[in-house]
Structure 1
Amino acid sequence: MPPPNGPREQIAGPDTPQSPFPLKLRGPVIKGFGRGSKELGIPTANIPIEGLSIGGHSDLESGIYYGWCSLDCSTTSSQSISSTTASSAPPTEQSSNHAVADLESSSTSSNSQIYPTVLSIGFNPFYGNAKRSIEIHILHQFPSDFYGANLSLIILGYIRPEYDYVSKEALVEDIREDIRVAQRSLDRGDYQSWKSDPWLGGEEQNEPEGVVSDGADARVQRMKRGVGQKGGPAMCVMDP
């Protein structure tokens, strides 16, 4: 489906997040497809979700979404992810990280470690992905890669469906507008309040019945087996 003609809505969603939001996901950051950075100048973290529900919603519509995320780098040996002053170099020269996008400056405090994010869920018609995936753009600039960091995500709203584009330039232009829409949408009070949600601080939700909380390594193994996806947020492992 091609994108519609005419101006787009400036803000997405009602003034307060409505069902099925919020959706909560968590997983380690690893390298994705790589094309976001190399071809589009928009690095992403990619999460294949074949057979995996999103926050318990296996029928969640493909499209573009927005929300907040946090990063716990205690699981990575890479350098600190503290902020760095933006340079005039393009994003692909500033960092090779597949989990960041600094297309625009964020109003989020760098000390909070909570970042606005815009993400796509689906097959990316322009590239014709065979598997449904999540591609996450963190709207913040980082000085170094942080593969292995634990990413916690709260999805709060829906922006638009997936479209097919006649060119990469048209795709990038729409992604940039998605980022602007996400930032304006997250500036509203009831969306700002989710930045303080304990999930973004690393707090665990209740495990589903019959699942024992027995450490991060065991939880990752259960995630890979598809365990722990009902009765709580989907726990996504970010595979290549």
Structure 2
Amino acid sequence: MVMIVYKIKYNEIPKLKPMSAAIGFFDGFHKGHEQLIAAAISEAKKNHLKSAVITFAPDPWTVFKPDANRDHLLSDEEKEQFCKNLGIDEMIIIEFTREFAALSPGQFNEMLVKLNVKYLVCGFDFTYGYKGLGNPQTLKEQDAFHVEVISSVNDEDGKISSSRIESLIRQGEVSKAASLLGYIYSVNGKVVHGFKRGSSLLGFPTANIETPAGIVLPELGVYTGMAAVDGILYPAMINVGYNPTFDNHSISIEGNLLDFHQDLYGKIVRFFFVSRIRPEIRFNNLDELITQLESDQKAVKPALAKEKALIRATGSLWSLKDSFVIIG
């Protein structure tokens, strides 16, 4: 399926076909977001409408606080890929500016009418317009389109939200984060030359990727996980950190791919973080480090074997194939 992406200004709207749309910022596409999108797609199918996602870029936070560093769970390009793989027909990205933020609720509603929205799905806490005065109730103060409001999606600890998931990932709780996302968290980058200690000194060759800018990184430590190479998932032991045994001064992300012997330099590799094995440790000597790495590596496949359903869901979202080594 080919998804059409429209990048527009709020006051320069193209002619679009009638649509059923989910609206929001959608950082992370977690389980709450999935309910919005599923509802929009369901209504589109029932009433022969285009299914759509309406979102905004850049992040409103960066418009009002341009000097603040703001990391995200997904890049804009990754959001587009997720929308496509979730079965959305059209993605409408409205440029977020101060002028756009100053729209009254009524003006915002008029914009949605011009977009040819016939059915709109939003979260219960969606706000918009001048000082965030717009909300689901003000969306309903028009009769051009129907509004469906999705209630809070919760687990045993409360509301599922992007900020909560971000906090879990920063704490290394990637397994818990995956339970809220519905898939395994990942980061990607180009494989670059590292210090080559993994292969030459330790016997554990690693692929080092450029640290992605603006993306949330897991807490420092060693993780069980996977690496996506050319559309296929491979088991991997992944390290995020400074390699304190060697006194590195910059953070690195590197993975030891199991049962893999290809040259990866220059390729784009995506690392998926399944569970955290341990924090970073400074070892007294190389023998201690090697012994620990052997133990860490042995933890990878058993951890993946427990998450087959989650791995398949993750592979589907990213259009990846399962490695025979993982699934068996």
Q: TM-score range by the shorter chain?
A: 0.5 to 0.7
**In structure 2, which of residues 279, 290, 311 is the aligned counterpart of residue 172 of structure 1?**
290
AA paired with 2:201? E
Unaligned runs of 5+ in 2: 1-172, 322-328
**What does residue 149 of structure 1 align with?**
267
Cα distance in 1, alignment partners of residues 259 and 272 from structure 2: 16
Aligned to 2:299, the other structure's residue is in SS state: helix
Instruction: Report the Cα offset of residue 16 of structure 1.
Output: 9.3
Shift of residue 182 of structure 1?
1.5
Q: Any residues of structure 2 matched to 1:8-157 within 5 Å, and which?
A: 17-18=178-179, 22-47=184-209, 49=211, 52-53=213-214, 56-58=215-217, 60-72=218-230, 113-142=232-261, 144-157=262-275
Distance in 2 (CA, whole Å) between partners of 1:192 and 1:68 is: 9
Report the more deviating stretch, 148-157 or 165-174. Answer: 148-157
Q: How far apart are the structure 1 equivalents of 2:229 and 2:294?
A: 23
Structure 1 gaps of 5+ residues are: 1-11, 73-111, 203-240
The answer to whether the 8 A contact 1:152-1:199 is kept is no
Distance 2:319 2:294 in 1: 25
Give 1:123's aligned amino acid.
Y
Distance in structure 2 (CA, Å) of the matches to 1:33 and 1:179: 20
Any idea what SS the aligned residue of 2:192 has? coil
Alignment CA distance shift 1:194-1:185 (3 Å):
farther
1:201 corresponding residue in structure 2:
320
Greater gyration radius: 2
In the alignment, the residues of structure 2 paired with residue 151 and residue 200 of structure 1 have an alpha-carbon distance, to the nearest angstrom, of 14
CA distance in 2 between partners of 1:30 and 1:162 (Å):
22
Shift of 1:127: 0.5
Q: Which residue in the other structure is 1:86 paired with?
A: none
Task: Give me the TM-score of the superposition, normalised by structure 1.
Answer: 0.53
Between Structure 1 and Structure 2, which shows a larger proportion of helix residues? 2
Q: C-alpha offsets along residues 197-231 of structure 1, whole Å, 9 cap, x if unaligned?
A: 332639xxxxxxxxxxxxxxxxxxxxxxxxxxxxx
Deviation at 1:158, TM superposition (A): 1.1
For the residue of structure 2 that corresponds to 1:196, the secondary structure is helix
SS state of the match for residue 146, structure 1?
coil
- More relative contact order in 1 or in 2 (CA 8 Å, sep 6+)? 1
Whether the aligned pair in 2 keeps the contact of 1:123 and 1:133 (CA below 8 Å) is yes
Give 1:195 deviation, angstroms: 6.0
Partner-residue secondary structure (3-state), 1:33: coil
What is the TM-score of this pair, normalised by structure 2? 0.40
Give the share of equivalent positions with the same residue, in percent. 27
Amino acid at match of 2:276: Y
Tell me the secondary structure at the aligned position of residue 199 of structure 2: helix
1:185 equivalent to 2:303? Answer yes
Q: Structure 2: how far apart are the matches of 1:14 and 1:158?
A: 8
Count, aligned residues? 147
Indicate if the aligned counterparts of 1:126 and 1:165 stay in contact, CA closer than 8 A: yes
